[in-house]
Structure 1
Amino acid sequence: MTNILIVDDDINILKLVEVHLSEAGYNVFQAKDGIQALTLLKKSPCDLAVVDVMMPYMDGYALTKEIRREYDIPIILLTAKNQIEDKEQGFQSGTDDYLVKPFEPKELLFRIKALLRRYDKQPDESIVRVGNTTVNKKSYEVQIGDCTILLPLKEFELLYFFISNPMQVFSREQLIEQVWGLDYEGDERTVDVHVKRLRERFSKLTTDFQIKTVRRVGYLLETNRQ
């Protein structure tokens, strides 16, 4: 799994970014200042760093220089400043990209994916995660904490598809196409049966997600962001 380091002294930014990156399948490490970030990097190798500029003890420019001396990883600077001089200082310190606050989490995700491609460190798309639930398409295992669950094939593939596309509504027909294939000639009610089984299996095991019924449309997987 791809490890992303987030460095920001604003706890709300840390929480916001962690939620969105975790849902996208990344493993997130957090630090509140540059000193803590450098200590963390020595213990836990990361594939990319997202660094705020304005922080106590060591600002983002200084931290970027330190990371660049020791590690070959892409860096994105977050800042409330949008002046050309500030961007120039950021790139001179060694950053790969620059994102101005406030920003859309989706834009940060796009930039992270682009940099990982550039550094040839793409996330493993065979593994998806929400909260403490990990779905591994290589081993066909579902891991919730210390508990490993093996599912029937179509239940696994349906769960994998839902967790790969959280908070999106899919019709039964769309789910049939994605999981059973275009050549499937059975009844669409098989989707209802498999959703019911997934609900029964996981309702008592985790609160990370729930598969919701959208009346007259289909289903969506709702994640718990608490």
Structure 2
Amino acid sequence: MSQRILIVEDEAEIAGYLRRGLVYEGYAVEVAGTGAGALAAARERPPDLVILDLGLPDIDGLDVARRLRAGPPLSILMLTARDAVTDRVAGLEGGADDYLTKPFAFEELLARVHVQLRRRSDQQDHEVRSVGPLSLDPAAHEVRAAGQRVELTAKEFEVLDIFMRHPRQVLTREQVYEQVWGYDFGSDSNVLEVYVRALRQKLEAAGAPRMIQTVRGVGYVLREDT
């Protein structure tokens, strides 16, 4: 499944350049030209990494970084013309994981993106994930719903893990197939439906509400509201 990157940049030429390069590298990329737009996008479609310009037209980038840090875990790479040491220190202390000044070489930015996303992936593999009454512990291979332990098969665990890595994000059948099985079974297969049905039954039997919801014609989404 493609990792999600949010570019927050008000200069259309730079934003377009970054977007084209990152899409070519296989990332799912969204662009916001304002701080308010970035916060709304991050809230609705949580990214794995944010490339954040500090000189935005409405909200200072440092304030945007602080607000992003109050939401779901993500990585922040600040990309800005502010190159003074005090600016770098303020950026790193204000929530940035890395700081790159303009002008920049795309190859260096890409290398820094790879480092941040690799670190995030390594951390996620050991962190207990929680969404509403559900919790999933990758290290212990344990799932709990409303406090009760739920016994899942290995493949059921993998499918649920994908949804819990991306709460409130609609995942297509193809995305889940590729991430869990490594290939697409095709539109005629009901393999995913079988696993979703089994997960619903087990989680709901333990006391959780129906959280894996069908988005007709698209796929599935894990969220607390029904």
If the TM-score is normalised by the length of the shorter chain, which range does it land in? 0.5 to 0.7
Q: Specify the code of the residue in structure 2 equivalent to 1:5.
A: L
Q: How does 1:33-72 map to 2 (within 5 A)?
A: 33-72=34-73
Which of structures 1 and 2 has the bigger CA Rg?
Answer: 1
1:89 maps onto 2:90 in alignment: yes
1:138 maps onto 2:182 in alignment: yes
What CA deviation, in whole Å up to 9, does each residue of 1:127-186 have, x standing for no partner? xxxxxxx9x6922699xxxxx9xxxxxxxxxxxxxxxxxxxxxxxxxxxxxxxxxxxxxx
Q: CA RMSD in A?
A: 2.2
Q: Secondary structure at the match of 1:119?
A: helix
Deviation at 1:121, TM superposition (A): 6.3
Q: Specify the code of the residue in structure 2 equivalent to 1:138.
A: G
Paired position in structure 2 for 1:12: 13
Deviation at 1:57, TM superposition (A): 1.1
Q: Specify the code of the residue in structure 1 equivalent to 2:85.
A: I
1:98 maps onto 2:142 in alignment: no
Q: Number of residue pairs matched?
A: 131
Query: Within 1, Cα distance between the matches of 2:183 and 2:72?
Result: 31
Matched-pair contact (CA < 8 Å) for 1:49–1:74? yes
Q: Specify the code of the residue in structure 2 equivalent to 1:112.
A: V
**Long gaps (5+) in structure 2:** 124-174, 188-226
Q: Secondary structure at the match of 2:70?
A: helix
Query: Within 2, Cα distance between the matches of 1:42 and 1:65?
Result: 14
Q: Secondary structure at the match of 2:77?
A: strand
Q: How does 1:1-226 map to 2 (within 5 A)?
A: 1-120=2-121, 138-139=182-183
Query: Within 2, Cα distance between the matches of 1:140 and 1:64?
Result: 37
Paired position in structure 1 for 2:215: none
Matched-pair contact (CA < 8 Å) for 2:46–2:72? no
TM-score, length of structure 2 as denominator length = 0.54
